[in-house]
Amino acid sequence: MYLNYFGLRRAPFGLTPDPEFIYFTPAHRNVAAGLLHSVVSQKGLCVLTGDAGTGKTSLVRLLVSSLPQNLVQVSLVLNPSLSPLELLQEILRDFGIQSENFTKAQCLARFNQLLLSLHAEGKAALLIVDDAQCLNAEGLDELRLLMKMETDKEKLVQIILTGQDELSGILDEHRMRPLKQLVASRHELFPLTVREVDAYIQYRWQKCGDTKPPFTPEAVELIASASGGIPRLINVICDNSLLTAFASDQREVAERQVEESLRDLHIKYTPRPAADTRLAPQASMNGPAAVRNGSAHAASNGAGTAAAVTEEVKEEDCPLPTLSRYLKPLWRFRLSGLGKDAEER
């Protein structure tokens, strides 16, 4: 509704997990690199946790799109609230095997056969379970049993569990110790700092239009405070604030429009203190280039104001992980004794 009014080609603050809109902080890059390394090195089981809306689903979808399809087959389970049999059937369906009439034993036998076949061809199988905190104890134990499908040297299936913070608590329970012992790496996504919220808004806006975002520095600070740095909430607040500004024929989104949107959305917040302890000078210097080039005085005092970010964020300041271009050579090296790659060498 407000796209033409603000000179936008498309909506900048959608709620779908579009990998194109991922804004990469240093923490995001580290997590993406860690996940890629786990898959390439066939670590077995790794876990990604973070608060709801921090971008876990977007990150794993980007990971999937970065993997060479001729070397990796992927199953992405988005609804883990299933019985053990239904979970196995869902996984097999993603791998192209119809198993509606299979028993659990038949599903396991067919899956093991598939994994051995992929391994013989020099390919890997990747299973991603999103919202894994919704898995019941039987489902988690089923995944543990899948991890037993291996050769003498490596795991036949790579599993990534993504979930909200409570997933960590579940895995730390005494009854889950057999599964926890199989976790090769754990990663966590955190909310954005105030500086990162400002850069995040600029980044998404530049994906959709050629103008600068209309949010005042004070509005950005309020958005950061009310959202707690959660990207999904930032999108909701920004979208509603733009609509409020459009309805009142305002070309600028100020605190008043954000406050009105927060009331409409029933979002409660505590005003951010003058000095945001999350924005220590060292942390701000590790951010994107536009943040590092902000006000030196503000950075030295740890002041987390959006006004300190004075330069426009450019897309190259927040590049997607470049590790994906190394995946094929790495895979060829790892599979140097297998199949077609070995013959080509």
What domains are there in the chain, each with its CATH number? 26-191 (3.40.50.300), 197-314 (1.10.8.60)
Give the global pTM: 0.77
- Residues in the chain predicted with pLDDT less than 70, given as ranges, are 270-345
pLDDT at residue 272 in the model: 52
pLDDT at residue 79 in the model: 87
Reduce the secondary structure of the chain to three states and give it as a string: CCCCCCCECCCCCCCCCCHHHCCCCHHHHHHHHHHHHHHHCCCCEEEEEECCCCCHHHHHHHHHHHCCCCCEEEEEECCCCCCHHHHHHHHHHHCCCCCCCCCHHHHHHHHHHHHHHHHHCCCEEEEEECCHHHCCHHHHHHHHHHCCCECCCCECEEEEEEECCHHHHHHCCHHHHHHHCCEEEEEEECCCCHHHHHHHHHHHHHHHECCCCCECHHHHHHHHHHHCCCHHHHHHHHHHHHHHHHHCCCCCECHHHHHHHHHHHCCCCCCCCCCCCCCCHHHHHCCCHHHHCCCHHHHHCCCCCHHHCCCCCCHHHCCCCCHHHHHHHHHHHHCCCCHHHHHHC
pLDDT at residue 284 in the model: 31
pLDDT at residue 1 in the model: 81
pLDDT at residue 270 in the model: 66
